[in-house]
């Protein structure tokens, strides 16, 4: 009787670690690839995996409110935001590929280094005495956050920066479920609403910048100085 929940938790931990590893691989794949549409799809898959992680945690910890967070993530970040962004890409007829400042092999190496950094930071939160699912996941979450920052600096295309910003938020979502099994539901709701609105506001802004400058290269936005 005593062993069963323990085994369950161990199984849960394994599933979640596997999913989190996939999330991390996808984030590094973003750094390695060059097409905006691929980037959007990777973001959608990554969000889907996050929703799965949330659902797994809800299942093994008998915390029904996390299901709602998972379902909302599914609706907003797997369906609404990617569909909106893909339609934007079609409307703007973007064909050019993204030219990163640092080349791809070096970027991947840097992402590896950032992952390592994520693990070092996450170590300080580890309490071995507590039954917690959160150890690996927090490290992955911090790595997502850092790699998201790096992508933002490395790619100067407006839409890529929007996607990088959204992946920062994905990192935060993972951190939230691994540290505290999610924020209170109303907070989660507020955050997702903001993510949705932010994606739309930034999307419209990107569209208008593209129309005015005939480019999405944000390094051309340099009239305002001093």
Which of 1, 212, 214, 219 forms a contact with another protein (CB under 8 A)? 212
Strands (E), the chain: none
Q: Which of 220, 189, 202, 207 is nearest to 68 (CA)?
A: 189
Using DSSP's 3-state secondary structure scheme, residue 19 falls into helix
Q: Which stretch binds another protein (CB under 8 A): 26-34, 40-48, 73-81, 189-197?
A: 189-197
- 125 part of the interface to another protein, by CB under 8 A: yes
Contact, 207 vs 92, CB < 8 A?
Answer: yes
Residue 4 CB neighbour total at 10 angstroms: 8
Q: How far is the CB of 177 from another protein (least distance, A)?
A: 10
Residues from 132 through 171 that contact another protein (CB under 8 A): 145, 149, 152, 158, 161, 165, 168-169
Using DSSP's 3-state secondary structure scheme, residue 217 falls into strand
How many angstroms separate the first and last alpha carbons of the chain? 69
Q: How far is the CB of 179 from another protein (least distance, A)?
A: 4
Give the interface with another protein as residue ranges (CB under 8 A).
Answer: 124-125, 145, 149, 152, 158, 161, 165, 168-169, 172, 175-176, 179-180, 183-187, 190-191, 193-194, 197-198, 201-202, 205, 208-209, 212-213, 218, 221-224, 226
């Amino acid at each position: 009787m005593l062993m069963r929940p323990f085994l369950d938790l161990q199984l849960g931990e394994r599933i979640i670690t596997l999913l989190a590893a996939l999330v991390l691989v996808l984030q590094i794949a973003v750094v390695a690839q060059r097409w905006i549409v691929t980037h959007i799809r990777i973001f959608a898959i990554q969000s889907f995996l996050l929703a799965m992680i949330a659902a797994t945690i809800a299942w093994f910890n008998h915390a029904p409110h996390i299901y709602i967070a998972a379902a909302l993530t599914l609706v907003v970040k797997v369906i609404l935001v990617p569909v909106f962004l893909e339609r934007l890409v079609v409307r703007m007829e973007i064909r050019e590929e993204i030219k990163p400042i640092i080349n791809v092999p070096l970027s991947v190496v840097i992402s590896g280094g950032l992952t390592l950094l994520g693990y070092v930071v996450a170590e300080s939160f580890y309490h071995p005495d507590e039954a917690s699912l959160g150890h690996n996941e927090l490290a992955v979450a911090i790595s997502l956050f850092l790699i998201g920052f790096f992508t933002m600096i490395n790619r100067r295309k407006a839409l890529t920066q929007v996607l990088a910003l959204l992946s920062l938020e994905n990192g935060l979502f993972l951190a939230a479920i691994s540290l505290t099994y999610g924020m209170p539901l109303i907070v989660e709701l507020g955050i997702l609403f903001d993510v949705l609105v932010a994606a739309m506001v930034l999307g419209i802004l990107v569209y208008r910048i593209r129309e005015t400058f005939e480019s999405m290269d944000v390094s051309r936005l340099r009239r305002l100085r001093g």
